[in-house]
A and B are shown apart, each in its own frame.
Chain A
Amino acid sequence: MSTIAIDLANVSKSYGSKMVVDGLSFTVAPGECFGLLGPNGAGKSTIARMILGLTPPDAGKITVLGVPMPARARLARRHIGVVPQFDNLDVEFTVRENLLVFGRYFGMSTREVTAVIPSLLEFARLEGKANARVGALSGGMKRRLTLARALINDPQLLVMDEPTTGLDPHARHLIWERLRTLLSQGKTIILTTHFMEEAERLCDRLCVLEAGRILAEGRPHALIEEQIGCHVLEIYGGNPHELSALTKPYVQRSEVSGETLFCYAPDPEQLRVQLRGRAGLRFLQRPPNLEDVFLRLTGRGMET
């Protein structure tokens, strides 16, 4: 196996006059979890589709698992598992039938698929649901079945487009735990997300995207340290612009997002002392995270 799982070099894609991906380059090493982080419309799904060979790039070169895409897409996809943004399970089929049918698309015989189904169901925590119709499953169970389905060909690489969007926190944590298990087994994962927490928890490296360009790339904690590097004090309940002027001498930097003022301050206690006595203000002091990085790089929040 090659030493690079995914290699994008100067990849561009536009639809009509709209540039969706703009001169993008990055590499993903085998066994790594790489995140594409950005708001809706940043080009994440288009990048995922190009990696799968389902959309040809206008310019640039894409190599996945050592073969050029989309020219040898069929060969590469034999070793890729996909978790799409929207479930496309067969709702009229049972859990087992979904896996059986999908395994056949990879050229597996009924016997071969049947042999791997129990371990896939166990992995997806769906042991008791083999004969349940997909229509009767919860959102979290459907996602886990989609994950099990993506593993049916024992892929080296998993491409996941917003794997936990729309799930409740419990279901999301269960998916994250399963993904960490896959990483510990040596699988390579590339995932798109707009959840900072997801990116921080799972990704070895990530790139922050906006409008098809990379704003920053690196390890989550290195990015946070490099871009923010101090505590954050969120202030609610006042006029954020007025407060911004008032706090200016005591902060490294501040950003207004909606009704909230984000103060990046080496000494947040000193800042609080200054604002003591002003009625109606609420404070949240916390360590910096990727949301702050995104806010700093784009001047606005991720959730749109």
Chain B
Amino acid sequence: MMGQGCAAALPANPWNWIAVWRRNYLAWKKVALASLLGNLADPMVSLFGLGFGLGMMVGPVEGTSYIAFLTAGMVAASAMTSSTFETIYAAFGRMHAQRTWEGILYTQLTLGDIVLGELAWAASKALLAGVGIMIVATVLGYVTWPSALYALPVIALTGLAFASLAMVVTALAPSYDYVVFYQTLILTPMLFISGAVFPASQMPGGLQQVAGFLPLAHSIELIRPAMLGRPAVSVGLHITALCIYTVLPFFLSAVLLRRRLMP
């Protein structure tokens, strides 16, 4: 019985998820412009509002202008929020109200294929959001190329990790009302503790230790040096941490979703 349960919760093969990704891509294409603007508007407003406003008062941070420092943080943060929102709102809707997943389960796809397709799609949107900000920041002269290229796979991995975490929330949430807690109690504090808007070193020691476990902090430790053209340290550690945040929640969410959708 356990074995059968696992087979339904795991991806059936390495390529089935692509059909789910393509379904979401087709839906997105129809509203691409609005979606892009929506994805970019929020981080852009933060960037210009905080960057120019605060930037004039605070002066250089960690040896660079505050806005360049903040840009890197915003790239990571936008990867986090766009993949999270895609998973806790859009994917939740496809699972719950629209019953899209139910239809997919009638085919040869497993629940694991669906979850993997949704995670890959959320990561794609994270990459799109991150690249969007990088392009604008490049025009303004705050990005160092070609070292910023190293940031691209990290943005995708960040999207994957946060989509995976959000999928656990999606699996557990009875309705939309509950996912708000995740957003306000987990994501927003993480944004400030992880060094996205100010250096983590300015925080009390206890919080700094907490930050060492947060996926966003690991993401920023990789993306910021890449965008500022500096050498990154402990690359292996940060990538491993992001991979753990991708893989463990993926399995957990698949098992939880099997219980929820195939009782």
Contacts and interface: CB of A to CB of B under 8 A. Distances in A.
B4 A52 contact: no
B106 A82 contact: yes
B5 interface: yes
Interface string A138-154: 00000000000110010
Interface residue range, chain A: 20 to 34
B26 A93 contact: yes
Contacts of B262: 54-56
Contacts of A91: 98
A105 B108 contact: yes
Contact of B19 (A56, A105, A149): A105
B22 A104 contact: yes
A97 B104 contact: no
Nearest to B30: A92
- Listed residue (A80, A86, A101) with the most chain B CB atoms within 10 angstroms of its CB: A101
Interface string B198-217: 00000000000000000000
B103 interface: yes
B90 to A, nearest CB: 12
A86 B23 contact: no
B230 interface: no
A104 B108 contact: no
A107 interface: yes
Given A56-B5, A88-B98, A104 B23 contact: yes
A55 B111 CA distance: 13
A102 B1 contact: no
Contacts of B7: 71, 74
B225 to A, nearest CB: 40
Nearest to B102: A88
A92 B97 CA distance: 14
Contact of B108 (A55, A71, A74, A93): A74
Interface in A106-122: 106-107
B100 interface: yes
Contacts of B19: 101, 104-105, 107
Contacts of A74: 7, 12, 108, 110
B189 interface: no
Contacts of A55: 262-263
B8 A90 contact: no
A90 B16 CA distance: 19
B107 interface: yes
Interface residues of B, number: 28
A107 B108 contact: yes
B105 interface: yes
A153 B100 CA distance: 18
A86 B99 contact: yes
Nearest to A97: B26
A84 B106 CA distance: 9
A52 B105 CA distance: 9
A56 B19 CA distance: 26
A70 interface: yes
A137 interface: no
Contacts of B1: 56
Contacts of B105: 54
Interface string B228-263: 000000000000000000000000000000000011
Contacts of A221: none
A93 B27 contact: yes
Interface in A39-94: 52-56, 70-71, 73-74, 77-78, 80-82, 84, 86, 88-93
Given A97-B26, A101-B23, A104-B19, A77 B106 contact: yes
Nearest to B110: A74
B102 A106 contact: no
A77 B99 contact: no
B88 interface: no
Interface string B1-36: 100110110001000100110110011001000000
B161 interface: no
Contacts of A93: 26-27
A147 B105 CA distance: 16
Contacts of A81: 106
Interface string A116-136: 000000000000000000000
B261 to A, nearest CB: 8
A96 B27 CA distance: 13
Interface string A1-33: 000000000000001000000000000000000
Contact of B22 (A56, A101, A149): A101
Contacts of B22: 101, 104
Nearest to B5: A56
Closest 4 CB pairs of A and B: A88-B99, A105-B107, A82-B106, A104-B19
13 contacts: A56-B5, A56-B262, A70-B8, A73-B8, A77-B108, A80-B106, A84-B106, A86-B99, A90-B23, A101-B19, A104-B23, A105-B19, A105-B107
Given A56-B5, A88-B99, 19 more contacts: A52-B106, A55-B262, A56-B1, A56-B262, A70-B4, A70-B8, A74-B7, A74-B12, A78-B108, A82-B106, A88-B100, A89-B103, A101-B23, A104-B22, A105-B20, A105-B109, A106-B107, A107-B16, A107-B108
